Structure 1
Amino acid sequence: MPFSDGTGPLERALLKPDGTQSGGKQSSVRPISDQDFNRIIERGLSDGTGLLPRTGDVSIDETSNRVLDNRTPFIYEVERSRIDIVTSRAIRDRAFRRNVLDAYDSRCAFSGLKLINGGGRAEVEAAHIRPVEHGGPDAIANGLALSGTAHWMFDRGLISLNDDLTITISRHVNDLEGVRSFLQASQRATAPRVAAHRPHPNFLKWHRDNIYKH
């Protein structure tokens, strides 16, 4: 983030009462007002790419020929209700992830990639075939180890699995060859090392019937 924009420092608390910038030594750690915080966040979230918004009308600035995107003001704090199940859910999620990644040796079932960072953490995520909110259990047979991209496509119904673990691609995919090149050359998902951990046909059918875009 720049220290200032065209109107002065983003952190207005650094200004003197007369509007000039303070010349004294600034502390590296200091309190910040809500107004300054919101101003810095809004400035940081401005992508400036000029890409068209996903929905809604498009306005063009005739001077700069840039797309005008009227952003919703940043909300600093929102009151949210809290329930005890949040803690137990987090513990269950960690166990599910650990079990699924172990079953697939931390390798993406769709792409075959096994990426581990310097801290030993795997890139793949544990994806539910039938989501928990739709009655799916935290069972290995209801899970797949997927990279972020594969997980995104699977959850949005752009790819799915047949009972024999062949990968099916939705006709709604806009880059068919790109998706095919991302998947394993066999166009088949990697099976877990233990047969009992293989994706259950009932869960796969549910995904094809309810999530997959035919």
Structure 2
Amino acid sequence: MVKLVLLHRADSIYGDVPEAQYDFPKAYLKAVSDGVGDWAIYYEPVKAGPKGYFAVAKIRQVIPNPAAEGRFLALVEPESFLEFDATVPRLIHGRPLESALGHVDGTPKAGGALQSAVRRLPEAEFARIVNLGLPPDLERDEATRYDPVQPGFADAPAVFERPVIERLTRRAYRDVAFRRKVRAAYDYRCAMSGLRLRNGGGRPEVQAAHIRPVADGGSDSVRNGLALSGTLHWMFDRGLVSVAEDATILVSRNKVPGDVVSRLINADNRLHTPGDPRDAPHPAYLKWHRENVFGQWTPDGSAPWD
């Protein structure tokens, strides 16, 4: 097994879905096959967009692409994909983070390896890039973001730095990373009510909801997330509200009182989406929610409006 860098362009003509699959030609089959069972970092070249190194995922399997002869798909472990909290540039202080992209003196090379869609990545360089994109102290940073003094943190002399892979697979860490990315993508505004509420300490009241739960094959991609108020998050998880193909908000009218709808849902009845269209909900996740969750709630207790 070997760790990899996978070049990805948002405007790619190939069938890339970073959280699910990576489409590549036969020329890279040996390199990608060597990476099966190990982790890869996604990289967006500067000319294609501003991201740089932007996410990490584990490669589960390589199969022929059924839609394109001579191409292959690297399938991603469903629960492994995680976007970086902050994108990481290729160069820091003028030197590449990948040694293969630099000369002996550390100055960057041009062309050649830089343009390769798949690059092998040494363990130490993988760890360095991940640590820059997903810092070891991310949980502490989030916990003290709006309240600097937190029980259990104030007396800690230093952050315990867990091994990179342990951090990437730990649910508590992933939940923090997902929440930060989703709420920021929606500018801390509820996607259904349109409200941006903060408490007295400035803490955003909006929550991050998975459209398709991780337990049901969903990912921690921003495109599988919605920023929602607490009540609407509760309603969305129970299928009382959903989102149509045209971004219209769907409401289970026989289960939700009309006055509740008028108070909670924005007047135009349409979903507010992120400023960056690449962060907008993926149609496949919304379709899954409509087909598997929407309208299926059976009351098992009082609702928030009772």
Both proteins in one fold, TM over 0.5: yes
Question: 1:15 matched to which residue of 2?
Answer: none
Comparing both structures, which one devotes a greater share of its residues to strand? 2
Q: Which residue of 2 aligns with 1:111?
A: 193
Structure 2 runs not aligned, ≥5 long: 1-165, 297-306
Are the equivalent residues in 1 in contact too, given 2:240–2:256 (CA < 8 A)?
no
Alignment pair present for 1:92 and 2:174: yes
Selected match of 2:273 from 181, 187, 191: 191
The match for 1:171 is: 253
User: What residue in structure 1 maps to residue 208 of structure 2?
Assistant: 126
1:80-115 deviations in whole A, cap 9, x for unaligned? xxxx89x81111100000000000000000011111
Report if the CA contact (8 A) 1:101-1:126 is conserved: yes
How far residue 163 of structure 1 moved from its aligned partner, in angstroms, is: 1.8
Q: What amino acid is the match of 2:253?
A: R
How far apart in 2 are the matches of 1:165 and 1:180?
A: 18
Q: Deviations over 1:45-64 (max 9, x none)?
A: xxxxxxxxxxxxxxxxxxxx
Unpaired segments of 5 or more residues in structure 1?
1-83
Match of 1:156 in 2: 238
Distance 1:174 1:112 in 2: 19
Q: Measure, in 2, the Cα distance between the counterparts of 1:181 and 1:94.
A: 29
Name the SS of the counterpart of 1:168 in structure 2: strand
Distance in 2 (CA, whole Å) between partners of 1:154 and 1:174 is 12
Which letter maps to 1:168?
L
Q: Tell me the alpha carbon deviations over residues 2-46 of structure 1, each in whole angstroms, 9 at most, x when there is no partner.
A: xxxxxxxxxxxxxxxxxxxxxxxxxxxxxxxxxxxxxxxxxxxxx
Structure 1 residue 174, shift from structure 2 partner: 3.8
Conserved? CA contact 1:172–1:213, under 8 Å? no
Q: Which residue in the other structure is 1:140 paired with?
A: 222
In the superposition, the TM-score normalised over structure 2's length comes to: 0.41
* Structure 1 Cα separation of the partners of residues 256 and 277 of structure 2: 34
SS at match of 1:126: strand
Identity value in percent: 55
Secondary structure of the 2:199 match is coil
Match of 2:262 in 1: 180
Q: Are 1:207 and 2:207 matched, yes or no?
A: no
| 1:179-210: CA deviation from partner (whole Å, max 9, x where unpaired) | 13320000001011100101000000000000
- What's the C-alpha RMSD, in Å, of the aligned pairs? 1.9
Residues 99 and 187 of structure 1: CA distance in aligned 2, closer, same or farther (over 3 Å): same
SS in 2 for 1:145: strand
For 1:115 and 1:149, how far apart are their aligned partners in 2?
13
What residue identity is the alignment partner of 2:207?
E
Q: Answer yes or no: is the 8 Å Cα contact 1:158–1:172 preserved in 2.
A: no
Q: What does residue range 73-92 of structure 1 map to in structure 2 within 5 Å?
A: 88-92=170-174
- Report the AA paired with residue 108 of structure 1: C
2:191/2:226 contact within 8 Å kept: yes
Q: 1:160 & 1:180 partners in 2: Cα distance?
A: 16
Partner SS for 1:171: coil
Distance in 2 (CA, whole Å) between partners of 1:191 and 1:151 is: 16
Check whether the contact 2:183–2:208 (CA below 8 A) recurs between aligned residues.
yes
Query: What does residue range 52-67 of structure 1 map to in structure 2 within 5 Å?
Result: none
- Aligned residues of 1:192 and 1:198 also touching (Cα < 8 A): yes
- Secondary structure of the residue aligned to 2:173 is helix
The answer (yes or no) to whether the contact 1:158–1:173 under 8 Å persists in 2 is yes
C-alpha deviations, 1:102-159, integer Å up to 9, x for none? 0000000001111112222110110000001101000000000000010011000000
